[in-house]
Amino acid sequence: MAEFYGLIVQRMIFKYFIKNKLNNLMTNLRFKHFYEATDIFGFEPKKFQDNPESPLLTKPINQFNIELMMEFLSQKNIGVYEPTMPFVNEIRWGQQPGSLKLEIGPGYKFYIKSLGMDKQGNPRWLARKIFQLNRQGYGGYEDSVAQEIFEQIDKISTNNIASTVENYSGLESLVDHIYKKILRVSKSIFIPEGVRKLNDDAYIIKFGVRGHGLESPSQTRIEQNQTLITHDREAGTIRVSNYNIKSPVGRTHSWKIHPNDLDLYFFPTQDRDEISETIAVHMKYY
């Protein structure tokens, strides 16, 4: 009888062990599978390749519920700061320098920003990270996504507050770093065309776009994708904007600048990798 009960106990322990192992495994895989974790934890050593044959593309998409995710986040404090929602796609923690906010942009892009004061005394929301949600089959994981985003925001809240500097001279080096980071991860449609220096405080990173002439006659073709990086000496800010230059299909090349796809601010004291990876994520999932 004792041996019988001993076997039962062993089975119970074994089942408990296996259950915990599976739970831990699912916790680790769940978010990584349904979220572009490489955007958070760094980039792959080899260049990103488009994969139109991915099996995920053949499966029905379970729509991700942004409102539900925001509801989960709205219940979490960052230190002593309670969350507020001035807009349906934005949550803020605090109102003073060092405060943080999460913005939800088009295409399920998540922006984490912190509040700083520029040299002219104006408040400026500084980009800290961009995350791109996986676009296939991620519905039902709103709580996991909310928890992961919250952990990233909470981690950023413990970092030193970025500030402006006098006589900043590192823009050229920063632009080169951004360009190299984009080259590593940008989509295969982009053809690198180099960096153009406008002046000591302004540079343009240029990419051609494959297939830009395949649109219908009523549409426009992309002549070039540009990332403009400028330093405002009076305000002490670095501004990064990304946009396309287009021309009407079937007509002469007009090279008109279209509205920004990206418009972010940084302070020179922010980590160089933090700035460059933020821009590279945008280009990787363009």
Note the pLDDT of residue 59: 44
pLDDT, mean of residues 83-98: 93
Average pLDDT of 269-286?
91
What average pLDDT does this structure show over 266-285? 93
pLDDT band of residue 162 (cuts 50, 70, 90) is: confident
In this structure, which long-range contacts are made by residues 64-71, counting pairs with CB atoms below 8 Å and at least 24 apart in sequence? 64/108, 64/133, 64/138, 64/139, 64/141, 64/142, 64/145, 65/139, 65/142, 66/104, 66/108, 68/142, 69/142, 69/143, 69/145, 69/146, 69/149, 70/104, 70/146
**Distance, CA of 256 to CA of 147 (rounded, Å):** 42
Tens-place pLDDT, residues 15-73: 444 344 434 434 444 444 434 433 433 334 344 454 544 444 444 446 788 889 999 99
The answer on pLDDT for 88 being more than 60 is yes
Burial tier of 53 (Cβ tally within 10 Å: 0-12, 13-18, 19+): exposed
Mean pLDDT along residues 134-162: 83
The pLDDT assigned to 205 comes to: 96
Instruction: Please provide the average confidence, as pLDDT, over all residues in the chain.
Output: 78
Task: Of 159, 134, 167, give the one whose Cα is nearest residue 274.
Answer: 159
Is 0.85 topped by the overall pTM? Answer: no
Portion of the chain with pLDDT greater than 70, in percent: 69
pLDDT category of residue 145 using cuts at 50, 70 and 90? confident
Q: What is residue 11's predicted lDDT score, i.e. its pLDDT?
A: 52
More confident residue, 7 or 239: 239
Q: What is the per-residue pLDDT for 214? A: 46
Predicted pLDDT at 1: 54
pLDDT exceeds cutoff 90 at 248: no
Residue of higher predicted confidence among 53 and 153: 153
Indicate whether 258 pLDDT > 90. no
Region 92-116: mean pLDDT is 93
Lowest mean pLDDT: which of 10-19, 197-206, 265-274?
10-19
Per-residue pLDDT tens digits for 165-202: 999 999 999 999 999 999 998 888 899 999 999 999 99
For the chain, give the secondary structure using H, E and C: CHHHHHHHHHHHHHHHHHHHHHHHHHHHHHHHHHCCCHHHHCCCCCCCCCCCCCHHHHCCCCCCCHHHHHHHHCCCCECCECEEEEECCEEEECCCCCCEEEEEECCCEEEEEEEEECCCCCEEEEEEEEEECCCCCCCCCHHHHHHHHHHHHHHHHCCCCCCCCCCCCCHHHHHHHHHHHHHHHCCCCEEEEEEEEEECCEEEEEEEECCCCCCCCCCEEEEEEEEEEEEECCCCEEEEEEEEEEEECCCCCCCEECCCCEEEEECCCCCHHHHHHHHHHHHHCC
**Residue 5 pLDDT > 70:** no
